[in-house]
A and B are shown apart, each in its own frame.
Chain A
Amino acid sequence: MPATKRGTQINENRRRWLGGAGAAATVLTLAPGVRLLDLALARSEEEPVSERVRWGMLVDSTKCAQGCTDCVDACSDEHGLTGMGRPQTDAQYIRKLDLKDKTTGKAYSLPLMCQHCETPPCVDVCPTGASFRRADGIVLVDKHICIGCRYCMMACPYKARSFVHEDLTSQVPETPRGKGTVESCNFCVHRVDRDREPACVEACAQAGHNALVFGDLNDADGALARKLEELPSRQIREDLGLNTGVRYHGV
């Protein structure tokens, strides 16, 4: 089936579905300005991802509400992360951190996930190349060739990765995950490849916080670059020179 024809079909189906269910909330997040790429940059289904794009995110800690876990919940829902009631071994792709400045006592709240480094230590150490960085900057685990050695978990300065400690049966089609392999935030790559935002960003916007901005770091006119220009931001463990794809404002 040609891509264009198929695309139309999807849209027709979406329209039909939305009409029936009247779920307006989802459409709002797809409103103008939130669209990920200009039409000129959008790639067809057969086209591989390229280095022209580098996906990134800005976390505006000043807008991140203490105690709010909408992004975490959305992530769990999106990727089918069901806890086993063992917090030490349950997987977390994204987690909320509560910080308190030891001198001023000022409190901060922010989500932490895979920082999608430009030079990721996890990719350096992985013996099989299962841990890799896609051309568009998304750091992934190819679970087909992950042997579960956990060297990447030792190497990650953000403790962003989890090891699957048990057999799973609750996987969702978009996020295959299984016992004995390592996993982490993948920027919802299945959504990004279909021109949509990661689930956490969508959830944060739905909750009205808008603390997360996702976009193309290479696109000077894009929403993310404009935001980065406007707000001062930093990288966590900037001393390591990893040039992270996730930046933080207000901490």
Chain B
Amino acid sequence: MRWCAILLPAMLYAAVAAAEVPVPSPPRGDGAQCVEPTEVMRRDHMKFLMHQRDETMHRGIRTTKHSLVECLSCHTRKDDEGRFVSINAPGEFCQECHAYSGVTMDCFGCHATTPRQPTSRSAQSLGRLLSDTSFRLHIQP
């Protein structure tokens, strides 16, 4: 009798709760392969970003393998009007998993959330465009 009292609600719960498990599905990046295996990136992407951040900030090393700008260039999507969507917008690459796991990102208070929007550039800033990594990637065939 006692056990029924416990098992009955459990079985009822099972009947109600049995459903698809929500799992985040971040959009795929542009390239064929990320700079590290996916299994590694899922665990340690922040370690790479932190390392790269200190190398770049303090030692002026601007290699692109683990740079946030490079992440953006692969993982930002464009909307119907051809403009980039912020990578931390709901459903976009970064936000999808971070919202799921309750992790707040402290990157995008400061860092740009899209590559340079090509349409917003004036002719004056051609020089800057030329050196812009993300721009370079997007004009590649």
Direct contact, A vs B (beta carbon within 8 Å):
yes
Which of chain B's residues has its CB closest to A192's CB?
Answer: B60
Complex CA–CA separation, A162 to B132 (angstroms): 26
Q: Give the residues in chain B near A66, CB-CB below 8 Å.
A: none
Interface pair B110/A171, CB less than 8 Å apart: yes
Whole-angstrom distance between the alpha carbons of A180 and B106 in the complex?
12
What are 24 sample pairs from A and B whose C-beta atoms fall under 8 A apart?
A: A13-B139, A16-B139, A23-B123, A25-B126, A26-B130, A45-B61, A46-B61, A48-B61, A49-B59, A77-B128, A78-B128, A132-B58, A134-B59, A135-B59, A136-B60, A142-B57, A171-B111, A172-B112, A173-B111, A176-B110, A176-B111, A179-B109, A193-B60, A199-B128
In the complex, A190→B59 CA distance in Å? 12
Is B119 positioned at the interface, with any CB of A under 8 Å from its CB? no
The count of residues in chain A whose C-beta lies closer than 8 Å to any C-beta of chain B is 46
Interface members, chain A 142-160 (any B CB < 8 Å): 142-144
Known A-B contacts A23-B123, A46-B61, A143-B110; the reply to A173 vs B134 at CB < 8 A is: yes
What are the residues of chain A within 8 A of B110 when measuring CB–CB? Answer: 143, 168, 171, 176-178, 181
Q: Which residues of B contact A25 (CB under 8 A)?
A: 126
Q: Is the CB of B61 within 8 A of A178?
A: no
Q: Is the CB of A134 within 8 A of B62?
A: no
Given contacts A171-B111, A176-B112, contact A77 B62 (CB under 8 A): no
Given A132-B58, A171-B111, A176-B110, the answer on whether A45 and B63 have CB atoms closer than 8 Å is yes
The answer, yes or no, to whether B33 is at the interface (CB within 8 Å) is no
Residue from B58, B112, B130 in contact with A173 in the complex, judged by beta carbons closer than 8 Å: B112
Q: Given A78-B125, A142-B57, 14 other A-B contacts at CB below 8 A?
A: A17-B129, A29-B127, A46-B61, A48-B61, A134-B59, A136-B60, A144-B53, A168-B109, A171-B110, A173-B72, A178-B110, A178-B111, A180-B109, A196-B127
